[in-house]
Chain A
Amino acid sequence: MRVELVHITKRFGSTVAVDDFTATLADGQLIALLGPSGCGKSTLLNLLAGIIPVTGGRARFDEDDVTSWPPERRGVGLVFQNYALYPHMTVAQNISFPLEIKKVPKPERVRRINDIASMARVEELLDRRPDELSGGQQQRVAIARALVKQPRLLLLDEPLSNLDARLRLEMREEIRRVQRETGVTTVFVTHDQEEAMSISDQIVLMRAGKLQQRDPAQTLYHNPVNRFAAEFLGNPPINQIKGRVENGLFRTREGGVGIPLPINAACGNRPAILAVRAESFVLDEGGFPCEVAELFEIGKEEMASLRVGGAVVRAYLPLEGRSGKGDTVRVRLKPRGVFLFDEKTGERL
Chain B
Amino acid sequence: MRRRDAGRMDRQDDYAQASRLSRIEPLLYLAPFLIGVAVFTLYPVIHVVFISFMEDYNYLTRAFSGFGLSNYISVLNNKYFIQALSNTFIYVLLVVPIATCVALVVANMLNQKLKLTGLFQTAYFLPMVTSVTAVGLAWRFMFNERIGIINFLLSLVGGEPVGWLTKAEWSMPALVIYGIWNILPFTIILLLAGLQGVNPMFYTAARVDGSKGLRIFFRITAPLLAPTIMLTTIVNTISAFKVFNELFPLFKGQAGPFYNLYTVVYFIYEQMSGKPRLGRAASAAMVLFAVIFALTMVQLLIQRRWRGSGKG
Contact = CB atoms under 8 A, between A and B. Distances in A.
- Chain B binds chain A: yes
Given A72-B209, A82-B199, 12 more contacts: A49-B208, A51-B204, A71-B208, A72-B207, A77-B208, A80-B205, A84-B199, A84-B202, A86-B206, A88-B224, A101-B210, A149-B209
Contacts of A70: 207, 212
Contacts of B201: 80, 82, 84
Nearest to B207: A71
A89 B310 contact: yes
A245 B223 CA distance: 68
Contacts of A89: 310, 312
Nearest to B200: A84
Interface string A87-116: 111100100011001100000000000000
A93 B310 CA distance: 9
A129 interface: yes
A71 B223 CA distance: 23
- Specify which of A71, A102, A145 lies most central, judged by the most chain B CB atoms within 10 Å of its CB: A71
A208 B275 CA distance: 84
A76 interface: yes
A-side interface size class: 20 to 34
6 contacts: A70-B207, A72-B207, A72-B210, A101-B209, A101-B210, A129-B310
B215 interface: yes
Contacts of A102: 210
A163 to B, nearest CB: 18
A87 B220 CA distance: 9
Contacts of B307: 88
B172 interface: no
A49 to B, nearest CB: 6
A59 interface: no
A97 B219 contact: yes
A78 interface: yes
Question: What are the 5 tightest A-B residue pairs by CB atom distance, in nearest-first order?
Answer: A88-B312, A98-B209, A84-B205, A101-B210, A88-B223
Interface of B: 199, 201-202, 204-212, 215, 219-220, 223-224, 226, 307, 310, 312
A199 B310 CA distance: 37
- Specify which of A71, A88, A97, A129 lies most central, judged by the most chain B CB atoms within 10 Å of its CB: A88
Contacts of A97: 206, 209, 211, 219
Contacts, number: 63
Contacts of B209: 72, 97-98, 101, 145, 149
A97 B210 CA distance: 9
A89 B219 CA distance: 10
Given A86-B205, A89-B310, A89-B312, A98 B220 contact: no
Main SS at interface, chain A: loop
Interface string A309-348: 0000000000000000000000000000000000000000
Contacts of A84: 199, 201-202, 204-205
B211 A72 contact: yes
A90 B208 contact: no
Contact of A72 (B208, B220, B223, B312): B208
A51 B211 CA distance: 13
A102 B199 CA distance: 24
Contact of A86 (B210, B215, B220, B226): B220
B76 to A, nearest CB: 42
A53 B139 CA distance: 47
B226 A88 contact: yes
A86 B202 contact: yes
A101 B204 contact: no
Interface in A190-242: none
Nearest to A52: B204
Contacts of B202: 84, 86
A33 B204 CA distance: 21
Contact of A78 (B199, B205, B226): B205
B211 to A, nearest CB: 5
A76 B208 contact: yes
Nearest to A87: B224
Nearest to A93: B310
Nearest to A75: B210
A77 B207 CA distance: 11
A79 to B, nearest CB: 9
A98 B215 CA distance: 12
Contact of A98 (B210, B223, B224, B226): B210
A49 B210 CA distance: 12
A98 B207 CA distance: 10
A87 B307 CA distance: 11
A84 B220 CA distance: 12
Contacts of B204: 51, 71, 78, 80, 84
Contacts of A93: 310, 312
Interface string A179-196: 000000000000000000
Contacts of B215: 101
Interface string A31-59: 00000000000000000010100000000
A87 B226 CA distance: 12
Contact of B211 (A49, A76, A87, A101): A101
